[in-house]
Structure 1
Amino acid sequence: MVRGKNVNFSARTINLLFGTPSIDTPGEMQEFLEDHPPLDTICGLICRENPQWTLSRLNEPIHFPRTTLTFAADNWLRFISARLLPSSHTSEVTRERAVMIYAILTDVPFDIGRFLHKSILKSAMGGLTMGLYHPSLITELCARAGLERQPGDELLPPDSMIRADRRPPRQAEAPVQPRPRQPPPAPGLEARIDRLADEVHQL
């Protein structure tokens, strides 16, 4: 309920808005995030060089510098940090974001609508420390429910545009040896995600 109107933010509604499919096995992405390949395998695909992980007190990997990402992976980080796992702190790549980038590049089935629905619900119920997630999406859903923007409403679009000129900054280090070529992702994935990114930016 927003300003007296019921706003539908179901997984099906979000998928219809973006033109993305509902996945018959919606838990597959979550299962992949919890039981993923070794981090060395993941970094072999998404990084230009072996990253320097910051470790926890239990010696578990927490994050690594974004500067080690490949160009494609860096663009996916922007998209993920703005649209799927919102965060304004993108100078480092957390373990969860690294796994999600790998999942996208290897075409793990992903129900966008269900993921965003759960994210909005969790933030609305107070389960997140930052503000309400996905404000642009929520604004569009509110508009479709007949709500008009008020004079005090402010939209702050995140810096998530995927563009060729936004390459990750390189550190002044010795030349990096090229990594073995990885198999390309399944055909059609990049086109689908690019279309999704374009539609989100138009909200």
Structure 2
Amino acid sequence: MAPKKVKGNLGSSSSFDRTRFVSDAAQARYEHAKINRNPITERGFRRQREDRYVGPLVDLDRRSWEKFGAQPRAAVVSIVREFYANAGEKTDDKAFVRGKLVSFDSEIINAFLETPEVDDSTFQALVANPDYTVIIDTLCHPGAIWKPVGGSPSCFDEKYLKADNALWYLFLARRMMPVSHKSEVQKERAVVLYAISQGYPINVGKLINSQILISVNNRHIGLFFPCLISELCAMAGVVFRDDEEWLQPMKPICIQDWQRKYAKRRLEFRTDEGDTGGSSTAVPRRQQPHRRSLNEKVDETLAFMAHQERVNLNHNEHISYLESMMHTMMAHRGVDPGTIPPPPPFISPFNFQYDYQPQGNASGVPPPDNDEDE
């Protein structure tokens, strides 16, 4: 009888929602995530015909990452939070979500994203023993330096990345190794970015699986891959309610918009190509625009007024031509032109020739109304 009594006490003391969570601790993690952890949404590339020869898009095709590089679909926020709350209870890359067992191992992720299973032993060797000097020199323009923490490299400023690497980093920071603040490139992401730029084989499923586990075990960072997690839950048969909160992905990466922004930003960090030492030179401060004198402003105003008068004349000629055409058409159809009111005259806003008509004569008597004569 004693074991039954203990079992009854455990059941009565449990207060978590068994339809959504596997334990009290899982529900507590869910409540903590609702307040302190936000999903870090993904984004992909918006591919256009004129961008097909851009370096990163060529690499996506070469690596067979077409679906992986595309814009993801929306995520279900409550599903994502329940997934991460329950994933901490298991250690086999699986999580219970609303009664369904959702797997997030590398094989399942690769199968959904249609990314190939590759031998990434060379990439793993690079991660285990990176040469940070070679990495920063390859990825960045001259002038970039590692910021040390505890005597070892930690990060560098993202603004020094070369063009293709900076474009890849936008994608990597949302689809491969999520981060909410991208102003600095952490050394772990710099290693992956270097591997991409040098053509190392990368197992996407294994990399994303490791990042999901990081998010599961760290309660102080955001919830990674909400769009992917929602898709995996749907594949496992998890039913979404009609009143679920949906989270749209970030705006897709537009190559042309990004190129304009990058070119504008690089004006401040332009390098001197003639300097064999590789040092960077600052761009001179932009000169102040020429201050126009009063005479120049008057001349420009008069020239503009003359232009407007020419526009006025051309407009009147065009109206006269249209009137003649209308009269011809009305005569052909037997319509009396006198029944059609004339169009209003075009008045230029820069016509300063005023025809002042006094409202009365010297004796104060207003002039006769000329409309009666007509």
Q: TM-score, normalised by structure 1?
A: 0.75
Higher helix proportion: 2
Question: Match of 2:159?
Answer: 67
- Verify the 8 A CA contact 1:75 1:162 in the aligned structure 2: no
Work out the CA distance in 1 between the residues paired with 2:165 and 2:266: 17
Q: Which sits farther off after the overlay, 113-122 or 130-139?
A: 113-122
Q: What SS class does the counterpart of residue 130 from structure 2 fall into?
A: coil
Gap regions ≥5 residues in structure 2: 1-95, 277-374
Asked whether 1:135 is paired with 2:226, we answer: yes
- Verify the 8 A CA contact 1:82 1:160 in the aligned structure 2: no
Work out the CA distance in 1 between the residues paired with 2:202 and 2:228: 18
Gap regions ≥5 residues in structure 1: 181-203
The aligned length equals 176
Q: What SS class does the counterpart of residue 175 from structure 2 fall into?
A: helix
- Verify the 8 A CA contact 2:141 2:161 in the aligned structure 1: yes
Question: Match of 2:240?
Answer: 149
The aligned amino acid for 2:271 is V
Cα offset, 1:110, TM superposition: 1.0
Work out the CA distance in 1 between the residues paired with 2:233 and 2:124: 28
Cα offset, 1:128, TM superposition: 5.3
Question: Match of 1:7?
Answer: 102
Question: Match of 2:124?
Answer: 30
The aligned amino acid for 2:195 is A
Work out the CA distance in 2 between the residues paired with 1:160 and 1:90: 16
- Verify the 8 A CA contact 1:82 1:158 in the aligned structure 2: no
Change in CA separation of 1:59 and 1:122 when aligned onto 2, cut-off 3 Å: closer
Work out the CA distance in 1 between the residues paired with 2:172 and 2:247: 19
Q: Which sits farther off after the overlay, 105-114 or 171-180?
A: 171-180
Question: Match of 2:172?
Answer: 80
Asked whether 1:19 is paired with 2:114, we answer: yes
Q: What SS class does the counterpart of residue 247 from structure 2 fall into?
A: coil
Bigger radius of gyration among the two:
2
CA deviation map 1:104-144 (0-9, x unaligned): 111112111111122223423x2352133111111111111
Q: 1:108 aligns with which of 200, 218, 221?
A: 200
Q: How many percent of aligned residue pairs carry the same amino acid?
A: 31
CA deviation map 1:13-32 (0-9, x unaligned): 111111111123x4543331
Question: Match of 2:137?
Answer: 44
Work out the CA distance in 1 between the residues paired with 2:251 and 2:173: 10
Work out the CA distance in 1 between the residues paired with 2:253 and 2:269: 30
Q: 1:123 aligns with which of 215, 220, 224?
A: 215
RMSD, aligned α-carbons = 2.5
